[in-house]
Every structure is written in C-alpha cells, then in structure tokens.
C-alpha cells in the first residue's frame, strides 16, 4: 500500500508537468486519443483541449475534466476548480479522503486553503452521492480544527496526501482557477 502511495505522488507530479506541456499552442493542435503503438495492446493518451477547461471555468465548484484508467490499476483524474472571490467560509466544513491523493496547481488567482489538523466529529460521506462518485471519492467530513491556513497565488502547487483534512477555497481574494490532479488507486471515481 505504501508503494502504491509513493507511485501515486510520482504520477501526480508527472501529470502536472504534462498539463503545462499540453497548454502550448503546438500541443493544442495535436490529435486526440491517438493510439500509442509503442505498447503491446495499444494504449491511448488523453488530451484535454483548452476550450474544455475554459468551459469548466464558467461555473463555481470542482469539476471533472477527465478521469481515466491508467495501467489497469489506477484512475487518474484531472479536475478544474473555479472560485469567484468570496470572504472566508465560516462553517469550516472540510474533508479527508480515504484513498485518493491530490495535487493542486493554481493557474490563476489567490486565496487561502485550510490544510491539516483534524476533523471534529468526522462523518463518513454517503458513497451513493454524485460528489463521492465523481469528485471526492470515499471521504469523511467535519469541522476542520488545528489547520494551517495556506495562502496561495498563481503558480503555487499543493499536494494533499490520503487522510489529510483540507478545505479548498476557504477564502478567495481573486477569481481563481486550479487544476486538481487526483490519483485514485482504489478506482473509486467514475471514469469520464
């Protein structure tokens, strides 16, 4: 299990690098989903056009751009978080994921995440909700205490391992767009 989590972190870093490469003008003009003939059985790569991400940036929230099966043993998700400016979220409702690790890359904007500490009276999230099936994966929720208030600006990266309480978008001081990369070793999230 620890080896799986180490690989999860390495895959998240590699994926973040690939996102920056794919935003180049040259990459925008490449084909989508072309077979990789170097692998026996032929895998496919996933391309997410800039226009798809721009469409997700029009609505507040955490939106799956793609969730794909990689190597028949993990799901890898690319999400777009969009937040309009807002004051601090005073209810402090955070969560911790049971199985997934995340990498957040701030494309633009500024604000504060709450990270770490513990959840007061943690409650298991209903596994049948759309949020659990498409965005969070199996998680627990509760009021976050003893956290670090981590300010972020464009270009920052945050890595949230399994089991770490967090509250993205606690405070948003500038319109914010964040790419969230999810490593899902238990394949709990629906493919998209």
CATH of the domain at 150: 2.60.120.10
Answer whether residue 192 is part of any domain.
Answer: no
**SS3 for 156?**
coil
C-alpha span between 57 and 53 (Å, rounded)? 6
Quick: pLDDT tens for 10-33: 445 444 434 443 343 333 333 345
C-alpha span between 20 and 9 (Å, rounded)? 17
**For a pLDDT cut of 90, what percent of the chain falls above it?**
70
Answer whether residue 79 is part of any domain.
Answer: yes
C-alpha span between 133 and 111 (Å, rounded)? 27
Answer whether residue 153 is part of any domain.
Answer: yes
Looking at the 3D structure of the chain, how many domains does it have? 1
Token pair recorded at residue 179:
């790419």
With a CB cutoff of 8 Å and minimum separation 6, the contacts of 141 are 93, 94, 95, 119, 122, 123, 125
C-alpha span between 50 and 47 (Å, rounded)? 9
Domain housing 30: 2-184
Answer whether residue 191 is part of any domain.
Answer: no
Q: By the 8 A CB rule, do 136 and 79 touch?
A: no
C-alpha span between 164 and 143 (Å, rounded)? 13
Work out the mean pLDDT of the chain and round it to a whole number.
83
Quick: pLDDT tens for 128-173: 999 899 999 999 999 999 999 999 999 999 999 999 999 999 999 9
What are 68's strand-pairing partners? Answer: 76
**Structure pTM?**
0.78
Answer whether residue 156 is part of any domain.
Answer: yes
Mean pLDDT calculated for residue range 68-80 = 91
């Amino acid at each position: 299990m620890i080896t799986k989590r180490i690989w999860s972190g390495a895959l998240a870093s590699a994926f973040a690098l690939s996102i920056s490469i794919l935003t180049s003008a040259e990459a925008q003009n490449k084909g989508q989903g072309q077979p990789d003939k170097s692998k026996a059985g032929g895998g496919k790569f996933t391309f997410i056009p800039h226009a798809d991400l721009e469409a997700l940036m029009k609505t507040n929230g955490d939106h799956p751009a793609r969730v794909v099966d990689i190597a028949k043993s993990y799901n890898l998700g690319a999400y777009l978080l969009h937040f309009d400016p807002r004051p601090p979220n005073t209810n402090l409702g955070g969560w911790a994921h049971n199985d997934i690790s995340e990498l957040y890359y701030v494309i633009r904007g500024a604000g504060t995440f709450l990270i770490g500490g513990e959840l007061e009276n943690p409650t298991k999230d209903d596994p049948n909700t759309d949020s659990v099936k498409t965005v969070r994966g199996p998680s627990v929720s509760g009021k976050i205490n003893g956290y670090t208030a981590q300010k972020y600006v464009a270009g920052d990266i945050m890595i949230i391992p399994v089991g770490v309480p967090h509250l993205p978008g606690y405070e948003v001081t500038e319109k914010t767009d964040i790419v969230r990369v999810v490593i899902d070793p238990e394949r709990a999230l629906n493919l998209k």
